[in-house]
Amino acid sequence: MKANNIKTRENRENFKKFCEPFLALKKEGKINSVNDCLTKVYSEQGHTILKKWTDWQAEGKRIKKGAKALYLWGQKETKIYDNQVVTHYPMLVFYSENQVF
């Protein structure tokens, strides 16, 4: 397995662990979505405008060196791998107004 794939899997597992309390709240019906909690956490850290890299680029902005990506969960995807149906939620990468120039 490539080093890049290993790092991506580690990031995904760490993000899943970070989201576990939010998922529990969703299952209890206390919140609408895990992403709602994530955006609230990000906004409390000063990240209020979240956009994908391509959206910032279209506005003529660049990502600051060393900026750490902010993640949200995407729509559920179903794909076939090795004749097995696999369902997962992709991690979407965003950057905030504080991470661009």
Per the CB < 8 A criterion, the answer to whether 84 and 101 are in contact is no
Per the CB < 8 A criterion, the answer to whether 23 and 35 are in contact is no
Range of the domain at 43: 3-99
Closest CA to 52 of 9, 19, 100, 18: 100
Averaged pLDDT, 83-96: 95
pLDDT at position 5 is 84
What is the Cα–Cα distance from 73 to 65, expressed in whole angstroms?
24
Q: Which residue has the tokens 């080093």?
A: 3
How many separate domains does the chain show?
1
pLDDT at position 1 is 56
The yes-or-no verdict on residue 75 having pLDDT over 80 is yes
